[in-house]
A and B are shown apart, each in its own frame.
Chain A
Amino acid sequence: MSTRLEKEPGQATAAEAGPPLLELRDLHVYYGAIEALKGVSLSVGQGEVVALLGANGAGKSTTLKAASGMIGPRSGQVLLHGERVDGIASHELVQFGIGHVPEGRRVFARMTVLENLKIGAYRLRRPDPADLDRVFTLFPRLADRRKQVSGTLSGGEQQMLAIGRALMGKPELLLLDEPSMGLAPLIVQQIFEILREINSQGTTLLLVEQNASQALQLAHRGYVLETGSVVMSDAADTLLSDPRVRAAYLGEAIE
């Protein structure tokens, strides 16, 4: 895992012919009669940070939910290390090393910070005390508030807790749904720094964001979703300088 990090992750996966860590193939997902994903395909290589951009309602959260088993696709495939995992329930899929930080944080509001983190390690037979230290090193603010009831944390602290809780399950792949939502620029900056750190420690990230500029600066590659379909996919730098992306997500007029 760590040796691959030395290379440029995006190219590493392309060069080694092995299957990517996560691959979605032609996913069609429905909510009742509404088709939320209309054939989404994407892949995330080991060690990569991949950004998933798109307007409200484009299907970003749905894509993550399909990857973590929260919702089953009507057709298409979800593959982890080349093995099909669609149809496996989310509580079993976490055993494959998937962590999902859901949209809106969703910490257990009536539990303390420490209780939340401990539940994050629920899937592990013997939780490693070092994991708690690692989370507290990444998020010193959580260490100070370990006995605080989570519902009383600030939005930024709750986001840190949601990420920390997912890390406690030792995920190989971390799915993040809008970690910067509703946070002040300084906190957003901090969160992205920490995500970079988490990635450099060997965790692969699939990152859903409205904050396209931050996300693309962190990511190696990115995908753009529009009403349930992938409309662009490229290296992060290329997307960052693409006029359509700049117009749609960075609020610039098209020249």
Chain B
Amino acid sequence: MSLSDIWDVLVLGVVLGSLYAVIAIGYTLVYGVLQLLNFAHSEVFMAGGFGGVIALTIFEPTADPSGIQSVVYILLGITAGAALGGFVAFGLEKAAYLPLRRRNAPRLVFLITAIGASFFLYNLAGKLFGRYPIPMPSMYENRRLFTVFGAPVSVTQFLIVVVGVLMLVTVDFVVNRTKLGSGIRAVAQDPEVASLMGVNIDRVVSRTFVLGGLMGGAAGFLFGTNLQVDYTMGFLPGITAFSAAVLGGIGNVRGAMLGGLTLGIVESFTVEIWGDAWRYVGGFAALVLVLMLRPTGILGERVGRAA
């Protein structure tokens, strides 16, 4: 590999990694407040992809959009994706997890419910939207925008990184600097005492799901802008992002970001060196390796602590 190849691959990895990071936040936030591995989060991501496609299909982008039109389409897609993602996450918590919490169900029941909800949601999407991929309406000409040390960056890639970073900065701010954030951190550390401080646990949990859902949904749309969406699209990015959350230290918001970026870059280099068939092997090998050396992940499992 020449130096310029390395740059190309690195840029691809960062793009992929920022998507994983955004999805991973959803896993880590929910784990933080409920110690629940919400496997259905991959379907929240998928819903976001469909949300974007549906909104854009309704508004039908013109064939040769101007710059401003492109921006409007993109914002529309992100908003619709985030909205549907947030809505599905909200409904998921209310329908699947809240009843279990009311009954003080054992942890295993939550896990099985999460897997069941995931099956339910993606089969529902398959029923509603068909089993064939739906192409994303074209919103802009995906030309090369600029180069980073010789590595080309396309409009889509630029978009993913910029929106991804904005979302990561926002969620970091929310968790560390807002009232909702202090509620989230308090519930993550000691729910009983949090409620003695006046924190409404049910509300904090619900909003945590919505926060993760908004991000996961937007990520689903961004992922779809590459090509298409389909009902199974959540599975592999979802499980990779879940691994990213574990890699960074589950429950730890900045850890999820770091883990996502790491897995994106590792995956990108794996594909470059060994070919596409090995795509997910590199990332998972990295996960196993890190967990063997450091079982709590890179930044450590720190529920309720954002840094």
Contact = CB atoms under 8 A, between A and B. Distances in A.
B113 interface: no
B107 interface: no
Contacts of A91: 194-201
B185 interface: yes
Interface string A89-101: 1111011000010
Interface string B233-254: 0000000000000000000000
B207 to A, nearest CB: 14
Q: Which among A90, A100, A109, A165 has the highest number of chain B CB atoms within 10 Å?
A: A90
Contacts of A169: 197-198
A111 interface: yes
A146 interface: no
A167 to B, nearest CB: 12
Contact of B183 (A68, A94, A95, A122): A122
Nearest to B179: A122
B232 interface: no
Interface residues of A, number: 23
Contact of A123 (B197, B201, B303): B197
Contacts of B193: 102, 106, 108
Interface residues of B, number: 21
Given A110-B302, A111-B305, A120 B185 contact: no
A169 B195 CA distance: 12
A123 B179 CA distance: 10
B21 interface: no
B74 interface: no
A102 B189 contact: no
Given A115-B182, A122-B179, A95 B198 contact: yes
B198 A123 contact: yes
B247 to A, nearest CB: 20
B86 interface: no
Interface in B164-220: 179, 182-183, 185-186, 189-190, 192-201
B192 A119 contact: no
Interface string A107-141: 01111000100111011000000000000000000
A68 B196 contact: yes
Nearest to B189: A108
A70 B196 contact: yes
A233 to B, nearest CB: 26
Interface in A58-112: 68, 70, 89-92, 94-95, 100, 102, 106, 108-111
Nearest to B201: A91
Contact of A122 (B192, B197, B305): B197
B195 A122 contact: no
Contacts of A123: 197-198
A102 B196 contact: yes
Interface of A: 68, 70, 89-92, 94-95, 100, 102, 106, 108-111, 115, 118-120, 122-123, 165, 169
Which 3 pairs from chain A and chain B are nearest by CB?
A: A123-B198, A91-B195, A94-B198
Interface of B: 179, 182-183, 185-186, 189-190, 192-201, 302-305
Given A91-B201, A165-B197, 7 more contacts: A91-B198, A95-B198, A108-B189, A111-B304, A122-B183, A122-B197, A169-B197
